[in-house]
Structure formats: C-alpha cells, structure tokens
Copies of this chain bind each other. A is one copy, B any other.
Amino acid sequence: MSANASERLIEATRELLWERGYVGTSPKAIQQAAGAGQGSMYHHFAGKPALALAAIRRTAEELRAAAETELGGTGPAYTRIEAYLLRERDVLRGCPVGRLTMDPDVMADAELRAPVDETLDWLRGRLAEILQEGLDSGEFSPSLDARETAAAIVATAQGGYVLARAAGSPAAFDTAVRGLLALLSPRTAH
C-alpha cells in the first residue's frame, strides 16, 4: 500500500467490494482505507462507479489468471478440474466476482456488470474445453455434455461459497465440491 494514490484507491476498492459489496461501500470508506483524501480520489476517478469499474476489471483479470494456473496444466482433465476446485482459497470471503452478482447497483449498470458476466462465462467455457479434451481422450463417458457439466462445476463452486458463508465454515464448500467430484470422477461408477 505504498504505491501512488490511484493504485492504492483501486486496491482499497477491491477489498471493500469483496467485503461489503458495491452498495455497502462508500467513497469515504475507500478513501480512509487507501489513505487518500477526497480531492485525490475525485482527481483520479470520476466517481464511485468509475473507481469500482477499475477495481472490478482488475479482480476479474486476477480470477482468470488464478484459475488458469490449475486449469492450464497438462494432466488428465479430471485432475486439473479437481485441482482447481480444491485449491486453497479464502472460502469465507466468498467469490470476489460472483458476489457482485447479488449487488443490485452492479447488475443495473451495464459497464459494471460486463466484466462479471465475461469472467464467469470465460470460466465456464474454459472448463468445457477441458471436459471436451477428457471426452476426446476417452476419460469420460461419451454421454457427458461438456457445456452443461462445465456450468454445473462453476455453479457448485459459486454455491459452495454460499453454503460456507451461511454455515460460517469453509468445510461446507469442500463438502459440496467433493460431492460433485465424486459424481464426475471416471473412477466412480454409479
């Protein structure tokens, strides 16, 4: 947090958006967290929406990069998906992108909503590609629909955050994920 003000403002906004959502985050709170005054904030950004847009875009990019770390491997499809779902994460904080979906002011603003949509869409597409690889190599049954299965995987992760936050325990996320992985596993006939 010792970079320039613009940078600190974006990072502070990212944290607050993650923690409290768009509606629950005020310019004043951002300024305090960033150690910047009002003059500074309004010099660098037109207002709260503009600053949020910069923050959301960065968060979205980071999520993609993080996902690609596990998904971009060379192992079997199932193994890469498993690694992605079980990788360490701040479960109780929720998904920094997915949570924006419940923010009415974000959904109402096409510009703010676009990066959210694109990111989740990218993730679904990426998983579908990997599932297709697994299909092509005979890893999965030919009856498996890559597109629908990919959606189910992303949904399970997103819903896992919901369950974990409701229960106040990260374990609820893992339980849901393991349930899905068992259904998907080539080693588990049922």
Contact = CB atoms under 8 A, between A and B. Distances in A.
Given A140-B190, A172-B151, A189-B141, A162 B120 contact: yes
Contact of A159 (B102, B156, B167): B156
Interface string A128-161: 0000000000001101110111111111111111
Interface residues of A, number: 60
A166 B117 contact: yes
B182 A145 contact: yes
A140 to B, nearest CB: 6
Nearest to A20: B104
A188 B101 contact: no
Interface of A: 19-21, 23-24, 94, 98-99, 101-105, 107, 113, 116-117, 120-121, 124, 140-141, 143-145, 147-163, 165-168, 172, 175-180, 182-184, 186, 188-190
5 contacts: A117-B167, A141-B189, A151-B176, A154-B159, A156-B156
